[in-house]
């Protein structure tokens, strides 16, 4: 009897199909990218790495100099069906600042669906109903329905509080529930 195969089948059977991403030591960050206001002449700077504790750390500074004011961390993937799920769950630790979590139903979609949240400085589990993600493009709310796609192909964190500030967000996992 092949015990390694049986163990593999048992382990994969109990993995949650709702997991979008879980950070761990040694996990690849391929597909994750930082996009700052530098794309339009700003001077903000975000960085991203997995730390020794296995958390994805998005940190840096935001400045309003040169009409800037945001830093974002984005992840594109093949897509995850949203049928049967009603919310996104974030497990993270922030620095007491406000952030946005953004989703897109398609890589090719120009607008994002956003949800703003404030971190507490402690580890938090934030549950965001899919229906509460508001359509937005370049800071403007769009006059179209809230998120109602059958899949998610991009997720992002963004900080852009219209002030100069350092930031640090430690991310453990992102999932559908």
The per-residue pLDDT for range 106-163, each reduced to its tens digit, is 989 999 999 999 999 999 999 999 999 999 999 899 999 999 999 999 999 999 999 9
95 φ/ψ angles, rounded to the nearest 5 degrees? -115, 20
The per-residue pLDDT for range 7-50, each reduced to its tens digit, is 333 333 333 449 999 999 988 888 999 999 998 899 999 999 99
Per-residue model confidence (pLDDT) at position 107: 87
Q: Is 20 exposed, middle or buried (0-12, 13-18, 19+ CB in 10 A)?
A: middle
Rounded to two decimals, the pTM is 0.88
Report helix, strand or coil for 7. helix
Report whether 85 contacts 151 (CB < 8 A).
no
Per-residue model confidence (pLDDT) at position 5: 37
Query: How do strand 165-176 and strand 19-22 relate by DSSP bridges?
Result: antiparallel
Q: What is the mean pLDDT of residues 77-82?
A: 93
Please give the Cα distance from 158 to 41 (Å, whole number): 17
Per-residue model confidence (pLDDT) at position 14: 39
Please give the Cα distance from 131 to 153 (Å, whole number): 17
Per-residue model confidence (pLDDT) at position 28: 86
* Sequential DSSP letters for 24-55: -TT---TTEEEEEGGGGT---EEEEEE-TTS-
* Domains of the chain and any CATH numbers: 18-176 (2.60.120.430)
Please give the Cα distance from 45 to 53 (Å, whole number): 23
């Amino acid at each position: 009897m092949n015990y390694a195969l049986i163990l593999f089948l048992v382990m994969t059977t109990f993995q949650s199909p709702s997991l979008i991403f879980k950070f761990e030591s040694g996990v690849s960050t391929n597909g994750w990218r930082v996009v700052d206001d530098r794309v339009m002449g700003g001077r903000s700077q975000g960085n991203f790495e997995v730390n020794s504790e296995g958390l994805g750390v998005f940190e840096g500074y935001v400045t309003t100099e040169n009409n800037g004011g945001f830093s974002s961390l984005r992840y594109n993937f093949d897509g995850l069906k949203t049928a049967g799920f009603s919310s996104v769950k974030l497990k993270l630790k922030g620095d007491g600042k406000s952030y946005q979590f953004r989703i897109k139903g398609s890589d090719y979609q120009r607008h994002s669906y956003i949800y703003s949240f404030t971190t507490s400085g402690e580890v938090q589990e934030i549950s965001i109903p899919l229906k509460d993600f508001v359509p937005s493009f370049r800071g403007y709310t769009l006059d179209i329905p809230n998120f109602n796609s059958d899949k998610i192909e991009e997720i992002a964190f963004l900080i852009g509080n219209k002030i100069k500030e350092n930031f640090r967000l430690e991310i453990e996992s992102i999932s559908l529930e």
